Amino acid sequence: MTGVETIARIRFEHFQNRKGIKRIARELGLARDTVRRVLRSEATEFNYKRAVQPQPKLGPWVEALTAILEADIEGVLIHGAQGVRSLTVLLAPRGASARR
């Protein structure tokens, strides 16, 4: 997403300071296509909305993980990595693989 300030900065650098698209993109950390689109359009703000929000990889496990963490929050905090290892042991019967 490109905000109003960024668009103004792109246009200022290009039209007032005569900087090229590649240099502006490098300095502002933007893609050259984005800089080019800003310079060619009259728009003052660009917004991007996804048509379909993808499901997170943890989607089916969120409830199980939340329940385990709430039940054993002190164990994880006190035991650190050992507590995380115990999470994989607790999730194994539920079908989770212990891959790393």
**Hey, what are 12's tokens?**
């200022």
pLDDT in tens, 21-56: 999 999 999 999 999 999 999 888 887 788 887 777
User: For 7-28, what is the mean pLDDT?
Assistant: 95
Cα 11 from Cα 87, distance rounded (Å): 52
The b/e string for 46-68 (b: 16+ C-beta within 10 A; e otherwise) is eeeeeeeeeeeeeeeeeeeeeeb
Q: Is the pTM of this model over 0.85?
A: no
**Hey, what are 14's tokens?**
């290009």
Q: Could you tell me what percent of the chain has a pLDDT over 70?
A: 69
